[in-house]
Amino acid sequence: MRLSLRYKLLIFSIIIAILPLAIAGQNLIRIAQDELKSSANDQLVTTARQITEEINDIYEHAWLAPLLLIRNAIDEERLGVEEKIALLTLGIADLQAVVALQITLERAPLPLIVSKDEFVERLGAELDDPLAVLRVQKDFVLENGYSGIDKVHDVQYIPETDDWLATVILPLESKLAGSDALLSARINLSRLRGYLENHAFRQTGELTVVDAAGQQVFGTERADLSGLDIVHEAIQVLGSSSRLISVEPYARPDGEVMLGSFSFPLPFDWAIVVEKSERAAYLAVGQMVSSLVVWVSVGLAIAIAGAVFFALRISRPIVAIGNAAIEVASGNFQTRVENVTSKDEIGDLAARINDMIGQLNERFQLMKFVSGDTMAAIQSSDEEGVKLGGARERVAILFADIRGYTAFSEGRDPEVIVEVLNHYFQRQADIVQAHGGDIDKFVGDQLMAVFHGETMSRDAVACSLEIQGVMDELGREYAKAELEVGIGVDVGEVVVGAMGSSQRMDYTVLGDHVNVAARLCSHAAPKETLISESVQADIKSEGGFAFKALKPLSVKGKSKALKVYSVDAAPVVTKGRKPAAKTRQPEKATRT
């Protein structure tokens, strides 16, 4: 029973009627994904906010509050200098994060510094002057000391000891020694660094701290991360008056899609960037919708099975036809559409494709027996095809005749003669094509080529000289053949068109210049290229050729002798050396 493609598509349409079930399942999955995305964003925002609040708390309670107590004690006017120094010494001993306290007087050249001995010793093991690291310059203190107590200044990395230090500056309310004074503290950020490096969020995501320049804080390499989209945006927000927490999806340079959030701790000019890959953030989608997928899969199983069956029945023949078309496009006309046995429109199409490939193969083989100009005439013809007749056109004609072919063919098998001759013709044909020429025909051991365009004369002569060079190369490959070539070239107006009858045509060129080129070829000695006066006039000013005027040549059909030139490639002149004189081989007897 023949089942047409129309009925197959009808059955397939009935099966896909159950697709609403699949669409409903997809919508449920999408809703679950949206909810999970919202949950992932909330986690990023919450994490960024918690980290910012923790940094703010560390600053306010672990650093600022004790420093304010020390400052208030130093402001007590009833305490003497020795008591205040003792207060600084006792105060720094009880503050874990503070490694140095300094009092800077506006009128004193040097500050008073109290530091932790163990930290100074550790710095001293790596640095010549550890106090230079702990000392805060007077100009810096005076410039930033009155900007407020809610800022941390001068975050500095000490690569020798892998320490990060920051500066907090508090102005004293009372004068010391009659001068305004400021209390500054050097804070070791190791506690803050440990908190960030061991944060639980790092188990599922990434946590990075960058400064206002986009450089990584607490990274030994101080990597410049300003090129990342989320860091660039965080820096812009950091430079504005807004300090809002933001969530942004973006793609990394490697193509991985990330979800990111950033926030800004109050005391630092930092941005806290928390990131999680979108793939990891949505990992729980599978768990959340697994049961839903099971039930949807049951509903779709029948539809999928039917769709696969009919898709294979329909697509396999189409794929086979497509593959056959690809092979034909690549020039393989031996291919056929196979294993298509369906008795419907697709089976009919496969049979017609096979018939078409067979006919294309026949036409392709016929193309090898006609010239390129013939194919161009066929392609440019109208619906009625190529018509008899011709038009005048200026072209260059080249005849190349293999000399010694008759002697070579005597006593040899025809298969050997044809093999050698075809090898010679193949090389000559490649050269003609490379120079933009078109082979009009092969006549025995002779080749006729036609050249068009503004550089036709130059192309034909250059082609001739290259053929002579290749003949020398082939002569070494077939030394026993002793084959050489004589070439004639002429240029001028000829008649180009279809000659013959309506049943059998030959698209070629006819005219006096074709005859002249053939006569020049017949008079050319082996390894010699003869050109007419017209060709020599076209190319004499171009360079690259060497001409030698020969005795005027009397040819059949011409009342006057023709001016003839032999042509060779111009010799290459090396600086400081004269070109070697080129000797022409003695002329052999010419054919009439």
Give the model confidence (pLDDT) of 170-226 as tens digits: 998 888 877 888 999 999 999 899 999 999 988 888 899 999 888 999 877 788 888
> What is the domain partition of the chain in residue ranges?
57-147+159-185, 291-369, 372-569
Instruction: With cut-offs at 50, 70 and 90, classify the pLDDT of residue 69.
Output: confident
Token reading at 569: 């490639």
Report percent pLDDT > 90 for the chain.
10
Helices in 478-532 by DSSP H: which ranges? 512-523
pLDDT at 317 exceeding the cut of 60: yes
Confidence at residue 585, expressed as pLDDT on a 0 to 100 scale? 42
* Among the ranges given (97-106, 332-341, 380-389), the one the predictor scored with the smallest mean pLDDT: 380-389
Give the model confidence (pLDDT) of 228-256 as tens digits: 888 888 888 887 766 666 566 778 778 88
Mean pLDDT of 43-68: 89
pLDDT at 6 exceeding the cut of 50: no
Helix axes 285-329, 5-15, angle to 10 degrees: 170
Confidence at residue 506, expressed as pLDDT on a 0 to 100 scale? 62
Contact 532, 524 (CB under 8 A): no
Contact 112, 189 (CB under 8 A): no
Give the model confidence (pLDDT) of 546-573 as tens digits: 888 888 888 777 778 888 898 888 775 5
* Among the ranges given (20-24, 65-69, 414-418), the one the predictor scored with the smallest mean pLDDT: 20-24
- Dihedral of the alpha carbons of 427, 428, 434, 437, in degrees to the nearest 10: -150
Cβ atoms within 10 A of the Cβ of 17, count? 9
Which amino acid makes up residue 446?
Q
Give the model confidence (pLDDT) of 482-525 as tens digits: 788 899 999 998 888 666 555 555 667 788 888 888 899 988 88
The fold of 372-569 is Alpha-Beta Plaits (3.30.70)
Task: Label each residue of 390-456 as H, E or C.
Answer: EEEEEEEEEEEEEECHHHHHCCCCHHHHHHHHHHHHHHHHHHHHHCCCEEEEEECCEEEEEECCCCH
Give the model confidence (pLDDT) of 279-310 as tens digits: 777 666 656 667 666 766 676 666 666 655 66
Confidence at residue 368, expressed as pLDDT on a 0 to 100 scale? 46
CA angle 251, 253, 254 (to 5 degrees): 95
The model's pTM is 0.46
Confidence at residue 382, expressed as pLDDT on a 0 to 100 scale? 43
Give the model confidence (pLDDT) of 359-383 as tens digits: 666 565 554 444 445 555 454 444 4
Within the chain, how many helices (H) and strands (E) appear? 18, 17
